[in-house]
Structure 1
Amino acid sequence: MIKRKIALLVMSFGSPTNIEDIEAYYTHIRNGRKPTDELLAELKGRFELIGGTSPLVKITEEQGKAIEEVLNDKQDEIEYKLYIGYLHVAPFIKDAVQQIYKDGLTEAVSIVLAPQFSGVSLKLYNDEAQKVATELGIQMKSIESWYQAPKFIEAWADNLKTTLAEIPVEEQNKAVVVFTAHSIPLKSAQSGDLYVPQVKETAKLIAEKAKLTHYEEAWQSAGRTPFPWVGPDVLEFTKKLHYEKGYIHYIYCPVSFVADHLEVLFDNDYECKKLTDKLGVHYHRPEMPNVNPKFIEALAGVVVAKVAEN
């Protein structure tokens, strides 16, 4: 039997894999404007604090291969072939789609490794992929969001329950889970962007699955711009919770991310931990989804559902 061949385009933000590539990466994020020496030094300092580089690219490749393997192991009608494209480092999304064309595939399905849809982030990936695919005559189906996927929620809830179990029983009522997500410009949120309500629903679904008693929501990793971003900021909010509610255990769950990378390893594991240490309370963070089998199955299921759409 001749199998139907479909390209599986997995997209993520991307990250430099060595210190020499940080300037080019930062310049690309800034739409071609080179960062000042001060800004570049600051970013390099952040990478140094998490070990020199981010593991994001390595984890993205592992996630992509794992999804491809599950998809091909579960059925015999379709042969999925993995392609990876990044928004800010090579291979860029355009490169990946062009490779699909060079390999002679005419069908593709794309998924962004970000659960919630936003017009200022996830849409950029899908728009770029669709633009190049259309130019090359590739029929591409793009997944817009998958934050409700049951096994994605289960994977987070499982990891969260593991972390909570490490806290002494007599201190459980003094523990709070803080669901965080990458902030977006306030103007975008106020213009009807779906991201904020989807993040809030993600937190609610995980909280219900994990049967949480105390949980809150905050925002992290806001850009440095003259205009405001969605808040409350996680660091300021942590101080507020400490002084107003007296929690002694803070469990941070960055639910808009799916892998260990700069925003998690620095913004959470360094900055949030530095603050909790200063306040004399305990910092916790569950494992990220990474290549958790339930998480990979969730993404594979989302891909299968998209391919089956008319």
Structure 2
Amino acid sequence: MSYEAVVLVSFGGPERPEDVLPFLANVTRGRGVPPERLAEVAEHYQHFGGVSPINQQNRDLLAALGADFAANGLDLPIYWGNRNWHPMLADTVGRMRDDGVRSALAFVTSAYGGYSSCRQYQEDIAAARAAVGADAPVIDKIRQFWDHPGFVEPHADAVRHAAATLDPARRSTTRLVFTAHSIPTSMAATAGPTGGRYEAQLRETARLVAAAAAPDLPYDLVWQSRSGPPQVPWLEPDVNDHLTALAADGVTSVVVSPIGFVSDHLEVVWDLDNEAADTAKRLGLDFVRAGTPGTDPRFVSMIRELVTERLNPADTRPQPGLGSLPVWDTCPADCCPPPRRRP
């Protein structure tokens, strides 16, 4: 198939204090999140004036991607639509239709497989197309990129630079801690050939980044940003609990790397730069947080390369990643189903 545009699909975030609660209502609809948890998360956003960094980060990525496309002769318009806040994906798809776009590729700002990190975005795309109607453009999601050099290498450089700020005399008691968004264990343990994809890919990314950035440091993969009902088990340990355990084991310094994320949005700057940093301070741990790819030129070029794979499949698809897990171009229709809701 030929493609006439690219659409950046992301999570979205509030940009005014009055946006916060409606945004959170969109995020948590149908998930049974307690009102007190919503109020707690809303306060996190109000700490930053009710503005999430993610939309501006996406605007910066769009600008960088447009410049990269132009510099490399890739003549495709780039659109942007969000899952949970403006610009909403359905509105964007409607604008694409009005502009005469009949087919497009979607780049999703999530590197990994799994329901909430991949399949749900495909459902969002399908729902947006259905809302626009029969003349909505066909939109195909670009493949996952957890082990692509353009994703791994910026994370590795960030870890290397962060570790260099710590006391070298404490190197032997320094630990590298990778984090990603926790998910329900029922979602992580989905049966079938695509089961366990999210956690397995994250562990592969952690291995690749650690080997490239700090092969002498022991490392762990832990979890952050749990948001579900307390009675539902999620992946553990939480990063704050893990820091407590590390301090008890004699670790003196930690480098925290949020490999589950592509930019420094609110779950990074609040959950890590505030909560985890406060935990480390209370425990007497030296703490430094590594950055995320953001608009690193290698990450931007990666997106163009993934687009080119789909434009020229006979020549360039699929390119192998740095890791040992299989790489594929499209997901089967039954890939990564949602977890069953408890009654």
SS of 2:166's equivalent in the other structure is coil
Alignment of 1:167-178 (within 5 A): 167-178=166-177
Aligned partner of 2:142 in structure 1 is: 143
Q: Distance in 1 between matches of 2:18 and 2:188?
A: 35
Q: Distance in 1 between matches of 2:210 and 2:185?
A: 25
Aligned partner of 2:205 in structure 1 is: 202
- The alpha-carbon distance between structure 1 residues 79 and 148, as it changes in their structure 2 partners (threshold 3 A), is same
Q: Distance in 2 between matches of 1:69 and 1:47?
A: 31
Aligned partner of 1:89 in structure 2 is: 85
Alignment of 1:35-50 (within 5 A): 38-50=36-48
Q: Once the 2 structures are TM-superposed, how far is the Cα of residue 37 of structure 1 from its aligned partner?
A: 6.4
| Aligned with 1:29 (options 27, 31, 55) | 27
Q: Distance in 2 between matches of 1:275 and 1:65?
A: 36
| Aligned with 2:246 (options 241, 250, 258) | 241
SS of 1:136's equivalent in the other structure is coil
Query: Which 10-residue stretch deviates more, 273-282 or 63-72?
Result: 63-72
Query: Which 10-residue stretch deviates more, 29-38 or 284-293?
Result: 29-38
Kept after mapping to 1: 8 A contact 2:175/2:254: yes
2:97 pairs with 1:101: yes
RMSD: 2.1
Aligned partner of 2:5 in structure 1 is: 7
Aligned partner of 2:227 in structure 1 is: 223
Alignment of 1:247-266 (within 5 A): 247-266=251-270
2:56 pairs with 1:58: yes
Kept after mapping to 2: 8 A contact 1:221/1:263: yes
- The alpha-carbon distance between structure 1 residues 36 and 150, as it changes in their structure 2 partners (threshold 3 A), is closer
Q: Distance in 1 between matches of 2:153 and 2:34?
A: 43
Q: Distance in 2 between matches of 1:167 and 1:139?
A: 49
Q: Distance in 1 between matches of 2:126 and 2:173?
A: 48
Q: Once the 2 structures are TM-superposed, how far is the Cα of residue 239 of structure 1 from its aligned partner?
A: 0.9
- The alpha-carbon distance between structure 1 residues 215 and 32, as it changes in their structure 2 partners (threshold 3 A), is closer
Aligned partner of 2:328 in structure 1 is: none
Name structure 2 gaps, 5 residues minimum. Answer: 315-343
- The alpha-carbon distance between structure 1 residues 48 and 130, as it changes in their structure 2 partners (threshold 3 A), is closer
Q: Once the 2 structures are TM-superposed, how far is the Cα of residue 12 of structure 1 from its aligned partner?
A: 0.9
Residue identity in the other structure for 1:247? V
SS of 2:6's equivalent in the other structure is strand
- The alpha-carbon distance between structure 1 residues 117 and 35, as it changes in their structure 2 partners (threshold 3 A), is closer
2:291 pairs with 1:292: no
Q: Distance in 1 between matches of 2:159 and 2:220?
A: 14
Q: Once the 2 structures are TM-superposed, how far is the Cα of residue 33 of structure 1 from its aligned partner?
A: 8.7
| Aligned with 1:274 (options 278, 286, 291) | 278
Kept after mapping to 2: 8 A contact 1:27/1:34: no
Residue by residue over 1:134-193, the C-alpha shift from the partner in whole angstroms, topping out at 9 and shown as x without a partner, is 743523321131111112111111111111111222221221110010011100111114
Q: Once the 2 structures are TM-superposed, how far is the Cα of residue 70 of structure 1 from its aligned partner?
A: 1.0
TM-score normalised by the chain length of structure 2:
0.83
Residue identity in the other structure for 1:13? F
Aligned partner of 2:341 in structure 1 is: none
Q: Distance in 1 between matches of 2:111 and 2:307?
A: 13
Kept after mapping to 2: 8 A contact 1:8/1:68: no
